[in-house]
Amino acid sequence: MDSVSGLFGGGWSMNLAALFFVVGLIGFLAWAAQRFGLGGMMPTKRGRRLGVVETLSLDARRRLVLVRRDEVEHLLLIGPGGDRPIETGIRREAQSQAPPP
């Protein structure tokens, strides 16, 4: 055990460096998840009326979001200039009747 503490210097400085590394790693992963849109991939619970179906990053500042309310979906453009509806009233029944691409 003495060889391990002698190799890394031991003491509180090693513990403090490890703490900063782990906190920095958690912060980086949270930033990356938010930046690349990984937050919207969680499945919704049954019985909910409102949910995010899909998101797509267009560039660093704008994002397309498909929102479902009851059985109606709305396509929104989210950006620094405000949120704008692109298409509203998309019925889910019409999607199931369309032939696959």
Q: Do 26 and 65 belong together in one domain?
A: no
| Overall residue count recorded for the chain in this entry | 101
Q: Do 58 and 97 belong together in one domain?
A: yes
Query: Is 84 in contact with 63 (CB distance < 8 Å)?
Result: no
Q: What's the distance, Cα to Cα, between the start and end of the chain in Å? A: 63
Per-residue pLDDT, 48: 76
By residue range, what is the domain housing residue 90? 42-101
Share of the chain above pLDDT 70, in %: 70
pLDDT digit string, tens, across residues 28-45? 998 888 777 666 555 545
Q: Flag whether pLDDT at 76 surpasses 90.
A: yes
The total number of structural domains that make up the chain: 2
Per-residue pLDDT, 20: 94
Per-residue pLDDT, 94: 46
Share of the chain above pLDDT 90, in %: 42
Q: Do 86 and 48 belong together in one domain?
A: yes
Query: Is 76 in contact with 83 (CB distance < 8 Å)?
Result: yes
